[in-house]
Structure 1
Amino acid sequence: MSHGLTGSRETAATSGEGHAIVSHGLTKRFRSGQVAVDALDLVVPRGSVFGFLGPNGSGKTTTIRMLLGLVRPTGGGCEVLGRPMPEALSSVLPKVGAVVEGPAFYPYLTGEANLRRYDAADPTADPRTARRRVAAALDRVGLGAAAEKRYKAYSLGMRQRLALAAALLRPRELLVLDEPTNGLDPQGTREVRALIKDIAADGTTVFVSSHLLSEVEQMCTDLAVMRTGRLVAQGPLGDLLSRRAPRIRVETPHVAQAASVLGHLGLTGLRTEETEVTADLGDLLPERVNAALVGDGVAVRGFAVQRPSLEEVFVDLTGEGFDVDG
């Protein structure tokens, strides 16, 4: 059963101008009997940076393959950019860029030469304007100065940016990225994250599949969480984070007295340490809590409101966690 904020069939059944991707009951069962994706109702708003979360084996890549028409579902269906897939494959895919399961390039060719080969493989691309398209794509991802450098000399971050350039050789309404920061060092991760934000700022919907919660939290506006093939939550990032009440942290030498005041205010989840008390804030204003502590003579040396992280929300929803930093 989905705990999604917008996970109902009524919501998922609607498509059109406001949605880049909609699925309804999307299911993939393999011959072995394994259900990789189970009745998925997904709604991806146009213009969003949409995080598609889940641990390895949760069905993310299989879902992407069905959305792109690479794998046929065994149940349900989906629409991409308002058209049914895979029936509208030929009209939809030219508007979609995708980087799935890592980039593949010739190591001894330059970045520019590799992109020229990708461009030449597109039957709808005009060869007379190929050089212009390739140069524009390289500039877009910040590789203009490295165009003549061989691919084998590229850093991991540069290789991932070249893959994005290949996906952006023509204007795209939707960009699908499967684990775009996987294996990158912190600098490469920052480069790709910044690039994704820039692409989205130009109006492209970006669908990012990842198992790295911290990355998704920094760059996504909306998200969905998968677990063992099923959708457990979806909606705007802020709405999902607000499902869990913020906590307050009070630093004081009067721990027992502070805990008593917080208990009388109705705060739950009380935890005490040597010089610190924490509790769920609930609906109370933090200034009211602080005033109550001071009014009761508690010496407040530190007072902070701690907002919930995506990891905490995920654990609340599923009872387990997965990679946060890599």
Structure 2
Amino acid sequence: MQPPSVPDTVVEVRGLTKRYRGGQLAVDGLDLDVPRGSVFGFLGPNGSGKTTTIRMLLGLIEPSAGSARLLGESMPAAAREVLPRVGALIEGPALYGFLSGRDNLLRFDAADPTADPQTRAARVGEALERVGLTAAARRKARTYSLGMKQRLGLAAALLRPRDLLVLDEPTNGLDPQGMREIRSLVRELSDDGTTVFLSSHLLDEIEQVCTHAAVMSRGRLLAQGAVDELVAGARGRLVVTTADTGNAARVLREHGVTGLTVVGDRVTGELPAAEAPDPADLNAALVRSGVRVRAFGTEHGSLEDVFVALTGEGFDVAG
């Protein structure tokens, strides 16, 4: 029997809405398209509706309106057929603290009626190795740090090959080295053909690992698309270091640079989105005006710039 084919759009959401009792609107008319083979970053501040959306996608809660399709099938109607092909880590893993890490995974796998018991021990060992927990496999889960528990939850999601992996804040509680390892693992899984849907409130995390992204705020979708296309639409920043910041700001303003700020000896401004002046011409204009420039450069736009442009709000950039 051939395995089911994976559609070009792995997650398709139309008008997805969740309103709780009392009228609280957690998700408001969401449309999403997650391409096959992508690492899709689902980006938004804590409380923006990301986890509620994921819970609806996986059939854990009912939407108030709209529809969701996973791997070409309607959810939650097709949950029994779809979910064995989906690995997930949502809001931290629920572990048996009195069992070892290895025994937790053995118990999780045994609860899956579609899992092959003859390969269980080997698959558990491989999953532990992938997340760096082999040395701690015999320790009771209650002795694990938060980061180790996150790793064990991720191992549970990787017990079998998956067409789609859904990760909700997977680097929560990890130190910088652990975050790098998880990012590397996500890239490996994508290279192996797994589509990864990665929810995070960390812009830096999304920008480093994701090929596509969607930005949410207060339950509503603000933008989605390929990360490089989203960032390309953001304005770049000009940074000038000089002792004569007042004169430098005046010259830059005259040449179309906007949003000028001065911090210490640094003048920072936004280049126009269209017909931006050549940085070399700006530098020459500063010199002609007698500004002694100690450093001059441009910074490309980032997802942070995209978010601020869309919402006018700040955002967590890193852990």
Classify the TM-score, shorter chain.
0.7 to 0.9
CA spacing shift, 1:130–1:321, aligned 2, 3 Å: same
Please report how far the alpha carbon of residue 92 of structure 1 lies from its aligned counterpart in structure 2 after TM superposition.
1.0
Please report how far the alpha carbon of residue 119 of structure 1 lies from its aligned counterpart in structure 2 after TM superposition.
0.8
2:133 is aligned with 1:143: yes
Could you say which residue in structure 2 is the equivalent of 1:304? 297
Once the two structures are superposed, residues 143-187 of structure 1 have per-residue CA deviations (whole angstroms, 9 ceiling, x without a partner) of 233333332333333221111111111100111111212233334
For residue 293 of structure 2, give the secondary structure of its aligned residue in structure 1: coil
Could you say which residue in structure 1 is the equivalent of 2:45? 55
Could you say which residue in structure 2 is the equivalent of 1:4? none
For residue 42 of structure 1, give the secondary structure of its aligned residue in structure 2: strand
2:263 is aligned with 1:270: no
Say which of 89, 104, 110 aligns to 1:114: 104
CA-based RMSD of the aligned residues comes to: 2.3
Tell whether the 8 Å contact from 2:147 to 2:173 is kept in structure 1 after alignment. no
CA spacing shift, 1:202–1:287, aligned 2, 3 Å: farther
Higher alpha-carbon deviation: 273-282 or 109-118? 273-282
Tell whether the 8 Å contact from 2:15 to 2:29 is kept in structure 1 after alignment. yes
Tell whether the 8 Å contact from 2:133 to 2:152 is kept in structure 1 after alignment. yes
CA distance in 1, matches of 2:28, 2:263: 44
CA distance in 1, matches of 2:206, 2:239: 26
CA distance in 1, matches of 2:31, 2:200: 19
2:303 is aligned with 1:313: no
For residue 155 of structure 2, give the secondary structure of its aligned residue in structure 1: helix
2:20 is aligned with 1:39: no
Question: Any residues of structure 2 matched to 1:233-252 within 5 Å, and which?
Answer: 233-252=223-242
Tell whether the 8 Å contact from 1:138 to 1:165 is kept in structure 2 after alignment. yes
Tell whether the 8 Å contact from 2:235 to 2:305 is kept in structure 1 after alignment. no
Could you say which residue in structure 1 is the equivalent of 2:153? 163
Question: Any residues of structure 2 matched to 1:1-326 within 5 Å, and which?
Answer: 17-272=7-262, 275-282=265-272, 283-294=276-287, 298-326=291-319
CA distance in 1, matches of 2:249, 2:192: 50
CA distance in 1, matches of 2:253, 2:317: 33
Tell whether the 8 Å contact from 2:13 to 2:69 is kept in structure 1 after alignment. yes
Please report how far the alpha carbon of residue 277 of structure 1 lies from its aligned counterpart in structure 2 after TM superposition.
3.0
CA distance in 2, matches of 1:234, 1:273: 33
TM-score, scaled to structure 2: 0.88
Please report how far the alpha carbon of residue 123 of structure 1 lies from its aligned counterpart in structure 2 after TM superposition.
0.4
CA distance in 2, matches of 1:254, 1:102: 51
CA distance in 2, matches of 1:229, 1:32: 16
Please report how far the alpha carbon of residue 273 of structure 1 lies from its aligned counterpart in structure 2 after TM superposition.
5.7
Higher alpha-carbon deviation: 182-191 or 69-78? 182-191
TM-score, scaled to structure 1: 0.86
- Report the count of equivalent residues: 311
Please report how far the alpha carbon of residue 239 of structure 1 lies from its aligned counterpart in structure 2 after TM superposition.
2.2
> Where does the alignment leave 5 or more consecutive residues of structure 2 unmatched?
1-5
